Structure 1
Amino acid sequence: MRVKVACVGGGPAGLYLSILLKSRDPSHEITVHERGPEGSTYGWGVTYWRALLDRLHEHDPASARALDAHSVRWNEGTARVRDQVTRRPGDEGFGIGRHRLLEILADRARALGVRLEFESAISADDLPDADLVVAGDGVRSALRGRYAEHFGTEVTDGRNPYIWLGTTQVFDSFTFAFVETGHGWIWCYGYPFDAGRSTVVVECPPETRAGLGLDRMSEAAGLAVLEGLFADVLEGHPLIGRSDGAAGAQWLTFRTVTNRTWHRGNLVLLGDAAHTTHYSIGAGTTLALEDAVALAGALGTHAALPHALDRYERERKAALLTAQSAARHSAQWYENLTRYIDLPPERMFALLGQRHSPLLPYIPPQLYYRLDQAAGRLESLRRFKRWLGPRLARAAHARELSSRD
């Protein structure tokens, strides 16, 4: 049956959904509306992991091959604390420029016959005439905002400010650097995304940013201060603000978005419009693309739209529980950095890798490290961690919900 679909927002989720729907049934009439000009996207590089690439190969080999060909890889992590450096092997990670990712998906969508309309702003009060309208318009979704009461939208601002930057320093691993200042700690995460550039995300407590004056400086002055603080890892390379040159880089606080329900009539939420997870777990793009896979699958399985949207919502909410728990604990790890920063470097880096664990906040760090080392050798301890972790996560989530009431 021919279906007319309007995807509002030309990000990875909306574009990939259009690819999946059109490739499964070329008779579908699919339009992607993007309010910005083509090629005007913000941002630097995004990360993903091998499991996502394998899954994309299953659903659309052509776009997966292009994504693979234009990504850079790493399989180690490096942490610099003060003047000490620790390096550890890790899972294979991938980085790709956000511009390149969107180009790949847009080219594939066009090749399949999807209509892409740029500089096409869609009003929440004048939705397109379509069987299905997909709100993939991001964390500040206007379409979701128009019906926020129906969706049960909650937006929570994080504590620590951060700024998203680029650099011409090409890291050979996923790199962390922690610097102690007279006003507290400041740190960055860096990873490559093409042959000549890397992403650098800088984060610190609000009092550190204020103490350093970064909340009052011009962009140029602020970048100069940050270049000095992270000189060891930058090795003389500059930090760069917005990649599109349209505006200066801004300090932000992360917005955690949740929704009680994800659809209203023929309108459905996708990607960051439906949910966000803290950037420190590097899962935003992965979760958005997995949303698209799930929605396309549900639409292909159920002829009745309400049943398809119900299935999509149930499937993705269940799948997100682990990622959302990991994201909460990861953000809290950084917010409580002083609990871990004075450990021996190899132990601190090991617990940095364990920051997603719901057990870690409840066990003294040195003891947790020893237990984790033992768990690597004893199956009974591994089973205990797997049993106890989700229970602590559910208890913490319940406390969080009750504190909101």
Structure 2
Amino acid sequence: MCVKVACVGGGPAGLYLSVLLKRQDPSHDITVHERGPEGSTYGWGVTYWQGLLDLMRAHDPESARAVEAHSVRWRDGVAHIGDSTTRHRGDQGFGIGRHRLLEILTDRARALGVRVEFESRVTAADPPAADLVVAADGVHSALRDRHADHFGTRLHLGRNRYLWLGTTKVFDAFTFAFVPSAHGWIWCYGYGYGATHSTCVVECAPETFTGLGLDRLAGADALALLEGLFAGVLDGHRLTGRGTDGADSPWLTFRTLTNRTWYRDNLVLLGDAAHTTHYSVGAGTTLALEDAICLAGALRTHPGLPQALAAYQRERQSALLPVQSAARHSAQWYENLPRYIHLPPHRMFALLGQRHSPLLPYVPPQLYYGLDKAAGRLTALRRLKRWLGPRLARTVQARSLSR
């Protein structure tokens, strides 16, 4: 359908879309425009789950094999709450360096014949001439913002402050650390993404942020303060920022972005340009790649561009609703941390796992924990009955026949 495609933004969404479209029709003329130099990227590692890997295997086995080969795995979740520690077994998760993921997708796109142009700046006033222009240029998308009224763009700022860092401490589980201070609790999420590095995201309430002086400290001084606060989980390892000196990284408030409409004429939004979900659910990269899969499929199965883009928008907006709800409740759980932090550690960690529930904010935490445990026992009993039922029936039948 689309002879010439221009993807603006060389992140996972734009690169993976170019791979899928080239696999569908090698005659497509596809260019990915990335404003940064090759090999430069922000962030450290990204997380994903088995479902994404299965999807990638179904749509491009070669890139799926490369992603899996360069990922680390974990099953446990660990929470350090003050001086207490609790560990739970969970579903298998994966971590991969963002730099490595982009390298894999770039190599795959080029091998299929996609032009990937780095240091290629595209302006909203002068978009590329193409049958389809894909705005995969992130939450600050210039292509989207030029037509913000048409797209119905809305931004909601979260309450807490957060900082995205790296560390040479390699976590063997998805790790949470909640540390008390004179100005309130501060916490981090840590997960490995390679043999030598992990991601470490630090978060706190605004009053803790200012009380600790983090609004005034910068660079190495801020990192030194955080290293002291999280010494119990870092084991002497350093924290690293994004600056050229490894120190500077900006404190942010999370921007939840939504759009009423995802396309305008031949321009379509993809990934973070279309939507964001709070980092605490770890779904950003997965959703971006799912967008690419859906858009490629819609372009393959619909006869015209308007029909394809409408189908893509309809399917993805519907699929995003439960994820966006879960992300909203997850962010609110952390914004209301004092409600849960003084529970016994195993109970607090259990409710951390239930933070996506829309009921949790309205039910006393201890009561919710008890109800959840009771529901779990009932579910386990139902499963046991389903398992035992056919076996007991066969046993009874065999005994009656032997008489």
Q: Does 1:335 align with 2:335?
A: yes
Distance 1:246 1:296 in 2: 38
Q: Does 1:28 align with 2:25?
A: no
Q: Read off the aligned partner of 2:237 and give its amino acid letter.
A: H
Distance 2:380 2:89 in 1: 25
Aligned-partner SS, 2:237: coil
Distance 2:104 2:158 in 1: 32
Distance 1:84 1:377 in 2: 26
Residues 1:100 and 1:380: Cα distance change in structure 2 (over 3 Å): closer
Aligned-partner SS, 1:367: helix
Judge conservation of contact 1:42–1:244 (CA < 8 Å) in 2. no
Distance 1:91 1:204 in 2: 27
Which residue does the alignment assign to 2:364?
Answer: 364
Q: Which runs of 5+ in 2 are unaligned?
A: 383-403
Aligned-partner SS, 1:175: strand
Which piece of structure 1 moves more, 237-246 or 190-199? 237-246
The CA deviation at 1:2 is 5.9
Q: Read off the aligned partner of 2:118 and give its amino acid letter.
A: F
Distance 1:140 1:245 in 2: 25
After TM superposition, list the pairs within 5 Å mapping 1:1-400 onto structure 2.
3-242=3-242, 248-379=248-379
Residues 1:320 and 1:2: Cα distance change in structure 2 (over 3 Å): closer
Distance 1:5 1:246 in 2: 37
Q: Read off the aligned partner of 2:115 and give its amino acid letter.
A: R
Aligned-partner SS, 2:137: coil
Judge conservation of contact 2:220–2:247 (CA < 8 Å) in 1. no
Distance 2:166 2:337 in 1: 24
Distance 2:2 2:306 in 1: 17
Residues 1:50 and 1:224: Cα distance change in structure 2 (over 3 Å): same
Judge conservation of contact 1:2–1:27 (CA < 8 Å) in 2. no
Distance 2:81 2:226 in 1: 16
Judge conservation of contact 1:43–1:243 (CA < 8 Å) in 2. no
Distance 1:270 1:247 in 2: 31
Aligned-partner SS, 2:312: helix
Aligned length: 382
Distance 1:362 1:35 in 2: 46
The CA deviation at 1:232 is 0.3
Distance 1:115 1:219 in 2: 38
Judge conservation of contact 1:41–1:244 (CA < 8 Å) in 2. no
Which residue does the alignment assign to 2:391?
Answer: none
Which residue does the alignment assign to 1:387?
Answer: none
1:216-258 Cα offsets, whole Å, 9 max, x none, are 1121000000000000000000000017658821100100000
Judge conservation of contact 1:44–1:243 (CA < 8 Å) in 2. no
Residues 1:245 and 1:42: Cα distance change in structure 2 (over 3 Å): farther
Aligned-partner SS, 2:95: strand
Distance 2:211 2:381 in 1: 44
Residues 1:3 and 1:83: Cα distance change in structure 2 (over 3 Å): same
Structure 1 vs Structure 2: percent identity of aligned residues? 74
Distance 1:35 1:96 in 2: 23
The CA deviation at 1:171 is 0.3
Aligned-partner SS, 1:43: coil
Q: Read off the aligned partner of 2:15 and give its amino acid letter.
A: L
Distance 1:285 1:47 in 2: 8
Which residue does the alignment assign to 2:395?
Answer: none
Judge conservation of contact 2:48–2:283 (CA < 8 Å) in 1. yes
Which residue does the alignment assign to 1:389?
Answer: none
Distance 2:156 2:305 in 1: 31
Residues 1:215 and 1:311: Cα distance change in structure 2 (over 3 Å): same
TM-score (norm 2): 0.93
Segments ≥4 residues shifted beyond 2 Å:
243-247, 379-382
1:313-356 Cα offsets, whole Å, 9 max, x none, are 00000000110000000000000000000001000000000001
Distance 1:368 1:268 in 2: 43
Which protein has the larger Cα radius of gyration, Structure 1 or Structure 2? Answer: 2
Aligned-partner SS, 2:138: coil
- What is the RMSD of the two structures over their aligned residues, measured on CA atoms? 1.4
Q: Which runs of 5+ in 1 are unaligned?
A: 383-405
Aligned-partner SS, 2:57: helix
Judge conservation of contact 2:223–2:247 (CA < 8 Å) in 1. no
Residues 1:21 and 1:195: Cα distance change in structure 2 (over 3 Å): same
Distance 1:343 1:57 in 2: 42
Distance 2:175 2:41 in 1: 25
Judge conservation of contact 1:134–1:269 (CA < 8 Å) in 2. yes
Judge conservation of contact 2:12–2:102 (CA < 8 Å) in 1. yes
Q: Read off the aligned partner of 1:127 and give its amino acid letter.
A: P
Aligned-partner SS, 1:181: coil
